[in-house]
């Protein structure tokens, strides 16, 4: 008899309060009972041009997305040494590889002969070499040029000088950050130790990628980001899906530089629930939502974690890589059923609700209306985040 056939994924591997790091536990303990939460009104606006202006978009590219390392993919996508994936989200052809000794490296996905892409799709490939489709120059996944077809036809070709162009890369709490402009001395200071520690506690570095989907949205990246920084829309935009699970209450927010951590109780939450069952899945009571600098969104759910990388492609275009992470692959048909249903639900909630809201808002903004966006006390984390990134512009 299979002893595990009745084990639900949540029971097989869950996160309890005690498994979280002390800072995260303390933050969770600050969440008031839903009935005691107080909404503080605020007066705040932002000019339309931050979502529609070319000058602002160019400044963000220069002062944020090219100046600091930015997230390109997840460690969990490349668990195996000797695997590689292409990433075009930023409009630069990138390759991210986990070398045979387990190290993450990033390269420009371009052959040193004439620039051809080496990997044309965005699937994960398990292979130790990359062969250019054009004239078949071959590289190791450590970037070294190891083979040139008809090499005797080249005079003085120094293979050691024609390896793939490498970009500085680092794994940070399970997110792979890359310095896109390739400068040799990246400024890693915007990456928060606290966020990396939390992501470790939540199991993000060692998670399983259950599902992955790319969205190409007609909206500015901040318009796409905003719903993940506010609870105001949840009971309204999501009225037909998940709205009834989340109260209209401000969340506990901590800023770590330009990284935002929001923690909130589910509907009807009281702090006593935390201690009622020490072995309980903490994700049933509490939702975590992070914006890791500058465009990585993490949202926890009961049985899985959503990670989204919002790649700004143009002032009114954002490519989103969505990842659904589970603690491990589904071990039973029942677990697979739970994951499958969760995946369908979350793609529908984010895709048909949050991302749709972003696209229809961009249309109004592009028509110049409103001249300034207005924010309330249930949206104050948007303003905190904007203050932090505007300080860098
Ligand atoms: S462009 Fe790659 S081998 Fe020629
Ligand atoms: Fe939402």
- Segments making up each domain of the chain, as ranges: 10-63+190-390, 80-185
- Going from the Cα of 233 to the center of ligand 2, the distance in angstroms, rounded, reads 7
The pLDDT of residue 249: 87
**Cβ 139 under 6 angstroms from ligand 1:** no
Coil, helix or strand for 197? Answer: helix
Q: Do domains 10-63+190-390 and 80-185 have the same CATH topology?
A: no
The pLDDT score that the predictor gives to residue 14 is 87
pLDDT of residue 250: 87
φ and ψ of 252, to 5 deg: -80, 120
Cβ neighbourhood burial of 243 (10 Å; 0-12, 13-18, 19+): middle
Please name the residue whose Cα sits nearest to atom 3 of ligand 1. Answer: 135
CA-closest candidate to residue 242, choices 233, 230, 251, 229: 233
Task: Output the CA 149–ligand 1 centroid distance in Å.
Answer: 10
Considering every ligand atom, which ligand is closest to the CA of 137?
Answer: 1
Closest to 15 measured CA to CA, from 325, 251, 254, 245: 325
Name the closest-CA residue to atom 4, ligand 1: 135
Residue 134 CB–ligand 1 contact under 6 Å = yes
Question: Which residue among 95, 107, 111, 138 has the greatest number of ligand 1 atoms within 8 angstroms of its CB, and so is best to mutate?
Answer: 111
Distance separating alpha carbons of residues 207 and 293, to the nearest angstrom: 21
pLDDT of residue 350: 97
Closest listed residue to residue 215, CA positions, set 95, 353, 61: 353
Q: Which atom of ligand 1 is nearest to the CA of 133?
A: 2
Looking at CATH, the fold of the domain delimited by 80-185 is given as Rieske Iron-sulfur Protein (2.102.10)
Question: How do the pLDDT tens digits run along the chain, 393 residues long?
Answer: 333 334 344 444 789 999 999 999 999 999 999 999 999 999 999 999 999 999 999 999 999 999 999 999 999 999 999 999 999 999 999 999 999 999 999 999 999 999 999 999 999 999 989 999 999 999 999 999 999 999 999 999 999 999 999 999 999 999 999 999 999 999 999 999 999 999 999 999 999 999 999 999 999 999 999 999 999 999 999 999 999 999 898 899 999 999 999 999 999 999 999 999 888 999 999 999 999 999 999 999 999 999 999 999 999 999 999 999 999 999 999 999 999 999 999 999 999 999 999 999 999 999 999 999 999 999 999 999 999 999 999
132: Cβ below 6 Å to ligand 1?
yes
Residue 132 CA: nearest ligand 1 atom is: 2
Rounded-to-5 percentages of helix, strand, coil across the chain: 30, 25, 40
CATH superfamily of 10-63+190-390: Naphthalene 1,2-dioxygenase Alpha Subunit; Chain A, domain 1 (3.90.380.10)
pLDDT at residue 164, as a whole number: 98
pLDDT the model gives residue 8: 45
Q: What is the pLDDT of residue 238?
A: 96
Enumerate the H helices of 16-68 as residue ranges.
22-29, 49-52, 54-60
| Residue of 107, 113, 146 to mutate, ligand 1, most atoms within 8 A of C-beta | 113
State the distance from the centre of ligand 1 to the C-alpha of 166, rounded, in angstroms: 17
Q: How many helices (H) and strands (E) does the chain have?
A: 11, 20
116, 146, 151, 162: residue to mutate for ligand 1 pocket, most atoms within 8 A of CB: 116
pTM: 0.95
Ligand approaching nearest to the C-alpha of 164: 1
How far is Cα 127 from Cα 84, in angstroms, rounded to an integer? 7
């Amino acid at each position: 008899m299979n002893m595990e056939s009745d084990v639900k994924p949540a029971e097989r591997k869950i996160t309890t309060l005690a498994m979280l790091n002390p800072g995260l536990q303390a933050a969770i303990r600050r969440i008031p009972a839903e009935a005691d939460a107080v909404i503080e009104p605020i007066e705040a606006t932002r000019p339309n041009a931050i979502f529609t202006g070319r000058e602002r978009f160019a400044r963000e590219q220069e002062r944020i997305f090219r100046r600091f390392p930015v997230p390109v993919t997840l460690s969990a996508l490349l668990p195996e040494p000797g695997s590689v994936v292409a990433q075009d989200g930023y409009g630069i052809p990138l390759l991210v590889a986990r070398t045979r000794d387990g190290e993450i490296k990033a390269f420009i996905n371009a052959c040193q002969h004439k620039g051809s892409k080496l990997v044309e799709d965005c699937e994960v490939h398990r292979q130790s070499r990359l062969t250019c489709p054009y004239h078949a120059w071959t590289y190791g996944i450590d970037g070294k040029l190891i083979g040139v077809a008809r090499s005797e036809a080249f005079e003085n070709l120094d293979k050691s000088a024609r390896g793939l162009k490498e970009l500085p890369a680092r794994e940070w709490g399970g997110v792979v950050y890359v310095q896109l402009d390739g400068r040799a001395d990246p400024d890693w200071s915007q990456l928060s130790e606290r966020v990396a520690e939390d992501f470790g506690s939540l199991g993000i570095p060692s998670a399983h990628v259950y599902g992955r989907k790319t969205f190409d949205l007609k909206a500015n990246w901040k318009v796409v980001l905003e719903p993940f920084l506010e609870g105001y829309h949840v009971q309204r935009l999501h009225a037909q899906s998940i709205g009834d699970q989340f109260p209209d209450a401000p969340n506990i927010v901590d800023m770590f530089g330009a990284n935002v951590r929001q923690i909130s109780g589910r509907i009807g939450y009281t702090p006593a629930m935390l201690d009622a069952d020490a072995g309980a899945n903490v994700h049933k009571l509490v939702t975590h939502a992070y914006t890791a600098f500058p465009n990585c969104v993490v949202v926890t759910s009961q049985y899985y974690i959503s990670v989204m990388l919002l790649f700004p492609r143009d002032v009114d275009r954002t490519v989103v890589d969505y990842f659904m992470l589970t603690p491990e692959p589904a071990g039973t048909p029942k677990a697979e059923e739970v994951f499958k249903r969760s995946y369908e639900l979350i793609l529908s909630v984010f895709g048909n609700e949050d991302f749709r809201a972003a696209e229809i808002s961009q249309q109004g903004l592009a028509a110049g209306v409103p001249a300034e966006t207005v924010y309330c006390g249930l949206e104050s984390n948007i303003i905190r985040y904007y203050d932090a990134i505007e300080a860098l512009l």
